[in-house]
Amino acid sequence: MLTVFLAGTDTTSVALSWMFYVLSTDAALQAECAAEALRLDLDAASEAHIMSALPALRSLFFECVRFHGAAPYLFFELGRLQPGEAVTLAGRRLTHADGDFTIVALTGFAGKTERAGELGVGSRPHEFDARRWRTVDGQVRTPADDVIFMFGSGARVCPGRDVAQLEALVSAVALLQAFSFRLPEGHPKVGSSTKFTQQPDQDIRLIITAEPVGLTAEPVGFTYPART
The sign of the CA dihedral 64, 68, 71, 76 is positive
Residue 149 forms part of a structural domain: no
Residue 198 forms part of a structural domain: yes
Residue 33 forms part of a structural domain: yes
Residue 32 forms part of a structural domain: yes
Residue 135 forms part of a structural domain: no
Is residue 65 a contact partner of residue 150, using CB atoms and an 8 Å limit? yes
Q: Strand 192-195 relative to strand 197-200: parallel, antiparallel, unpaired?
A: antiparallel
Torsion angles phi and psi, residue 118, rounded to 5 = -70, -20
Domain count, the chain: 1
- The rounded average pLDDT for each run of 10 residues, N- to C-terminus, in the chain (228 residues) is 67 89 95 94 92 94 88 58 71 71 51 72 88 90 79 76 89 95 94 82 92 60 41
DSSP-derived letter for residue 44 is: T
Q: Strand 101-105 relative to strand 92-95: parallel, antiparallel, unpaired?
A: unpaired
Residue 61 forms part of a structural domain: yes
Q: In this predicted structure, what is the pLDDT of residue 227? A: 39
Q: In this predicted structure, what is the pLDDT of residue 195? A: 75
Q: In this predicted structure, what is the pLDDT of residue 213? A: 81
- Name the residue range of residue 192's domain: 2-70+158-209
Q: In this predicted structure, what is the pLDDT of residue 222? A: 42
Residue 172 forms part of a structural domain: yes
**Overall pTM surpassing 0.85 (yes/no):** no
Residue 35 forms part of a structural domain: yes
